[in-house]
Structure 1
Amino acid sequence: ADKIIISGGDGGTGAAPLTSIKFAGNPWELGLSEAHNALKVNNLRGLVHVQTDGGLKTGQDIVKAALLGAESYAFGTGALTIIGCKMLRICHVNKCSVGIATQNEKLRSEYFNGTVEQLINYFTYLAEDVRKIMAQLGYKTMEEMIGRSDLLRVVDTEFAKKFDFSSVLHREEGFDTCQSPSNEPFDANEFEKEVLAEAMDAIKNPERPIKIVRDICNLNRSFGARISGEIAQYYGDSGLKANTIKINLKGIAGQALGAFLINGVSIRLEGVANDYIGKGMHGGKIVIRSQNQGEAFSAGGNTCLYGATGGKLYIAGSVGERFAVRNSGAMAVVEGTGDNACEYMTGGVVVILGKTGINFGAGMTGGFAFVYDEDHSFVENVNRELVDALRIDTDDGDEARHYLKRLLKDYVAETESEKAQILLDNFRVEIRNFWLVRPKNLTKLPLNPDKGD
């Protein structure tokens, strides 16, 4: 890592319920002290920049963070409050009454009154507060204070005496700040540079499509992002025609396979991938399969399709937690997920051919999902605050059934999934085991099976 960020439990999104804001997570002080000292013990602190955040508001907060080992400090809640945020905890429903957490142009133009000057004033006063404390301690620069946990004292109260702060205030010997601004990564993305060099002819001459075959390993992270960026430079967001660049990979892909993928690029992986598959994906297609397929085998990690806006993802296996979180346009078929699937989803289509874990559809305000529920346990896992779970084996479900069947046929063609093929062979019976999950205010399903090719 070039930078390690320690986030505490006191900040966080205004979309979280009050119980999550008040009773979730740990203080950043604990994580920061432990991370800082662990890096020093292993002679790594000089290579890594350490940052912290989590409810930082005053100069005293910043100085304490510096003394515990942080070199930089992030602000969310405080800065938002300065420009008008009222912490209404409705950030996920696009109805922010002060025009901050919304894409509604009317709300933004009529109600947002924040200015750059307000933020400048806040951070100026914050810096002056820090300087005042530094002067009291006798320091001229922040760098001199970083890691000086020996300057901290426990307050002299009966309540404080109940706790042992020795681990938090412990100071290891070694560098307290990052000494090397250029921590060279293991891979330096040479792998994708080689693939991009081979693909450049097809990018410049789309009438000449190309197929590229490579082995991949888990050091090769964010594969597809560099190629997509090059395509976007030439053609913008629209990208290329479907399958202009076909990339067949074999092995274990690193994190963020297909991140920010664009139309025209098709990635097929024979193997498995790590977290964040298809992060920010805009188009194209990602297909993952292996000789071990089905719900019992994990083929993808956590937080896949984070913030995706388009494209297709087919995985012949299970994935981890927070699948399709903040998905706003991608289409996906997988054979099982962990907890919190479709969290904060605002668009797109998700098909899950197996178990999902708890808290399905929390904060989901758009898009829809089909979930196969053979043992009739799914309903207990749905967060019903914003979504409904409906059966589609009724007269009203004709359009949804036909749409699901087309998706499954496409999925089988791409992955040769045995599970999906069995469902298709017995579709008239198995359709009774499917749920359609959609936002309560979604009256008509946006059925478009070809989106994302």
Structure 2
Amino acid sequence: VVNTLQAAVQQGDYAKFKEYTSLVDNRPVSMIRDLLKVKTLDTPLDISEIEPLESVLKRFDSAGISLGALSPEAHEALAEAMNRLGARSNSGEGGEDPARYGTIKSSKIKQVATGRFGVTPEYLVNAEVLQIKVAQGAKPGEGGQLPGGKVNGLIAKLRYAVPGVTLISPPPHHDIYSIEDLSQLIFDLKQVNPKALVSVKLVAEAGVGTIAAGVAKAYADLITISGYDGGTGASPLTSIKYAGAPWELGLAETHQTLRGNDLRGKVRVQTDGGLKTGLDVIKAAILGAESFGFGTAPMIALGCKYLRICHLNNCATGVATQNEKLRQDHYIGTVDRVENCCPSVAEETREWLAKLGVRSLEELIGRTDLLEILEGQTAKQNHLDLTPLLGSDHIPADKPQFCGVERNPPFDQGLLAEKMVEMATSAINDMSGAEFELDICNCDRSIGARISGEIARKHGNQGMAKAPITFRFKGTAGQSFGVWNAGGLNMYLEGDANDYVGKGMTGGKLTIVPPKGSVYKTQESAIIGNTCLYGATGGKLFAAGTAGERFAVRNSGAHTVVEGTGDHCCEYMTGGFVAVLGKTGYNFGSGMTGGFAYVLDQDYTFVDRVNHELVDIQRISGEAM
């Protein structure tokens, strides 16, 4: 199968491509969809009546594979090919070289998972779609993982890490404990880049429909259901085997649950995970997908031989390695090969539409009446009851089968943020600097994100650092005060703030002090919430009081001073500077591979609160100073 696909894309030979698809479509039953047969007409429609190739290609994405998992050459070839085709490429969670922004090599879909790698306001504003990676099919529930051998100078720079050190990024449950937290992250992203659609990537597992309903209620614009098939360019086999479920199950459950809860018309649904042929696309559309992600097939088009040794950094084809010799000597991938692959799948999809008598993919979504269930070839297959995939009698037929709106706008209008943009627009345009005073209350969320997005769009992450805009607030800030904070935005708060202060910040300064005249001791009083400075890449945070749990998780460049923290402080930290002038919680520095932390340990208990696995601690006495 691999060899035939590679021969087809190298020659741009559609007849050879049909050989490849017949190998896949006529294989022995090995996937659930192989037991579902489409009902074709005796005389197909004329192909000229079917929607054009371009509109089919608009529904195709390349799946999220990071730079780091892939070589720079392969990653850029995927992006350029998808852009040329009018489709979308996905950066994966490893960030993107800023030199690619605004060029044909820029990925339209930028993946984020807050504490992951190199998420800055400039990265976020250079996207059409922002995808939150809650899970992926190949290794659900795990964070990203990149072996140290693959972390060379470029990868370390883009990921704000140290060359040669394995990168284990936090699984999403480090900052997303509940659907409300996910809703807050979606709001953060819609604030920093109001033009982008926000997507959430979920893994196909039992119950994913209920999760997807929550995600739609949290105002996501797209939901990706990722199946267990396919893979990842970074993980060991233990992370790929026995993980997740087939996309057919997750997609059907999601589609039916969204329809049953009057949510299907508000959100687009995508699926990915081992899609290989036009027939796969047709079956995915019938089960409820509007768009389709391809990961393995474009990689094979670039030369991948499916050896499953991606994590060893010795990919024999130079596709999934950072080894320069392998890349120079063995990488044969070109943009043209990916360009030959996706239109062939799209053309075959059109042929199947003609055979089904359906003029467009949109008309096909949810048409489970066009599927029939085959008898199995073995006793085990005969025991399967696939009828639940074909729909539920409880859902009225008039419920929407696909998304009917451009976007899914949040209930919260972000009025204070819009007022701030009005006040500061001329100062941003002129790079003149300015200072403003405002009151704030705890329903004002993600304050600073809108301004940071405007700054980054016009001047990049640090372009305004020398002419800063300053906002002075009084009151209690809602969640995500200073999220994605850009260089050139300084915010002072007299009062206190909720969770996520300075999450993903890249520059500027956040200062939080108690109200004037308050009588309590700051070192014994909480002033900011949990998960502050999560995934920060720069800037400064000063808080005259204590922080909650998971402070400075995956900090890779921010400097901060606080007067105490909860558990898990500095977890996964790769850079920056943290000074805790007081007590910390347990598990300090777990997974920390860089940066410095100074802790005021007056009662000599800190040694029992550190996770000693990766960090050394050294007591500083007066003499040492």
Q: 1:264 to 1:115 in 2, by over 3 A?
A: same
Q: Which one of the candidate residues 582, 586, 596 is aligned to 1:355? A: 586
Shift of 1:331: 3.8
Shift of 1:155: 4.5
1:317 aligns with 2:542: no
Letter in 2 for 1:42: N
Shift of 1:78: 3.4
Aligned to 1:140: 359
Letter in 1 for 2:617: R
Say whether the 8 Å CA contact 2:229–2:246 is kept in structure 1.
yes
Shift of 1:208: 4.2
Counterpart CA distance in 2 for 1:288 and 1:94 is: 49
Structure with bigger RCO (C-alpha 8 Å, 6+ apart): 2
Aligned to 2:506: 282
Say whether the 8 Å CA contact 1:6–1:28 is kept in structure 2.
yes
Shift of 1:123: 0.4
Counterpart CA distance in 2 for 1:252 and 1:26 is: 41
Counterpart CA distance in 2 for 1:241 and 1:96 is: 48
1:64 aligns with 2:293: no
Q: Which one of the candidate residues 201, 224, 239 is aligned to 1:5? A: 224
Aligned to 2:112: none
Shift of 1:38: 2.1
Q: How does 1:197-346 map to 2 (within 5 A)?
A: 197-200=422-425, 202-203=427-428, 204=430, 206=432, 208-217=434-443, 220-221=445-446, 223-232=447-456, 235-236=459-460, 237-241=462-466, 244-248=469-473, 250-251=475-476, 253-254=478-479, 257-266=482-491, 268=493, 270-273=496-499, 278-279=503-504, 281-286=505-510, 299-301=529-531, 305-306=534-535, 308-313=536-541, 316-319=546-549, 324-325=553-554, 327-331=555-559, 335-336=565-566, 341-342=571-572
Shift of 1:142: 0.8
Counterpart CA distance in 2 for 1:97 and 1:389 is: 37
Counterpart CA distance in 2 for 1:249 and 1:119 is: 54
Letter in 2 for 1:312: K
Structural RMSD (CA): 4.5
Aligned to 2:245: 26
- What secondary structure sits across from 1:131 in the alignment? helix
Say whether the 8 Å CA contact 1:213–1:249 is kept in structure 2.
yes
Aligned to 2:402: 177
Q: How does 1:37-48 map to 2 (within 5 A)?
A: 37-48=256-267
- What secondary structure sits across from 1:273 in the alignment? coil
Aligned to 2:340: 121
Shift of 1:59: 2.7
After TM superposition, the structure 1 stretch with the greater mean CA deviation from structure 2, 45-54 or 246-255, is 246-255
Question: What TM-score, normalized to structure 1?
Answer: 0.66
1:393 aligns with 2:623: no
- What secondary structure sits across from 2:240 in the alignment? helix
Shift of 1:351: 6.6
Q: 1:12 to 1:124 in 2, by over 3 A?
A: same
Letter in 2 for 1:330: A
Shift of 1:177: 0.8
Shift of 1:226: 2.4
Counterpart CA distance in 1 for 2:513 and 2:489 is: 20
After TM superposition, the structure 1 stretch with the greater mean CA deviation from structure 2, 142-151 or 246-255, is 246-255
- What secondary structure sits across from 1:40 in the alignment? helix
Kindly provide the CA deviation profile for residues 234-274 of structure 1, in whole angstroms up to 9, marking residues without a partner as x: 64433234864134364463568522532333364723135
Shift of 1:67: 1.6
- What secondary structure sits across from 2:224 in the alignment? strand
Aligned to 2:318: 98
Counterpart CA distance in 2 for 1:30 and 1:256 is: 39
Q: 1:320 to 1:215 in 2, by over 3 A?
A: same
Counterpart CA distance in 2 for 1:21 and 1:149 is: 30
Shift of 1:153: 4.3
Counterpart CA distance in 2 for 1:252 and 1:131 is: 53
Kindly provide the CA deviation profile for residues 336-366 of structure 1, in whole angstroms up to 9, marking residues without a partner as x: 4569942xx6543467832349x942xx765
Shift of 1:70: 1.2
Aligned to 2:416: 191
Q: Which runs of 5+ in 1 are unaligned?
A: 383-387, 403-453
Shift of 1:288: 6.5
Q: 1:311 to 1:340 in 2, by over 3 A?
A: closer
Q: 1:20 to 1:182 in 2, by over 3 A?
A: closer
- What secondary structure sits across from 2:441 in the alignment? strand
Q: 1:125 to 1:95 in 2, by over 3 A?
A: closer
Q: Which runs of 5+ in 2 are unaligned?
A: 1-218, 515-519
- What secondary structure sits across from 1:265 in the alignment? strand
Letter in 2 for 1:265: N
Say whether the 8 Å CA contact 2:299–2:319 is kept in structure 1.
no
Shift of 1:231: 2.9
Identity within the alignment, %: 36
Counterpart CA distance in 1 for 2:316 and 2:485 is: 28
Say whether the 8 Å CA contact 1:154–1:160 is kept in structure 2.
no
Shift of 1:32: 2.3
Say whether the 8 Å CA contact 1:56–1:75 is kept in structure 2.
yes
Kindly provide the CA deviation profile for residues 136-156 of structure 1, in whole angstroms up to 9, marking residues without a partner as x: 433221112111234444442
Kindly provide the CA deviation profile for residues 367-416 of structure 1, in whole angstroms up to 9, marking residues without a partner as x: 46678974736548x5xxxxx32232389x96xxx6xxxxxxxxxxxxxx
Counterpart CA distance in 1 for 2:616 and 2:292 is: 46
Q: How does 1:371-450 map to 2 (within 5 A)?
A: 374=606, 376=608, 378-379=610-611, 382=613, 388-393=614-619
Letter in 2 for 1:176: Q
Question: What TM-score, normalized to structure 2?
Answer: 0.50
Q: 1:211 to 1:296 in 2, by over 3 A?
A: closer
Aligned to 2:8: none
Letter in 1 for 2:615: A
Say whether the 8 Å CA contact 1:99–1:110 is kept in structure 2.
no
Letter in 2 for 1:300: N
After TM superposition, the structure 1 stretch with the greater mean CA deviation from structure 2, 177-186 or 63-72, is 177-186
- What secondary structure sits across from 1:125 in the alignment? helix
Letter in 2 for 1:231: I
Counterpart CA distance in 2 for 1:34 and 1:53 is: 15
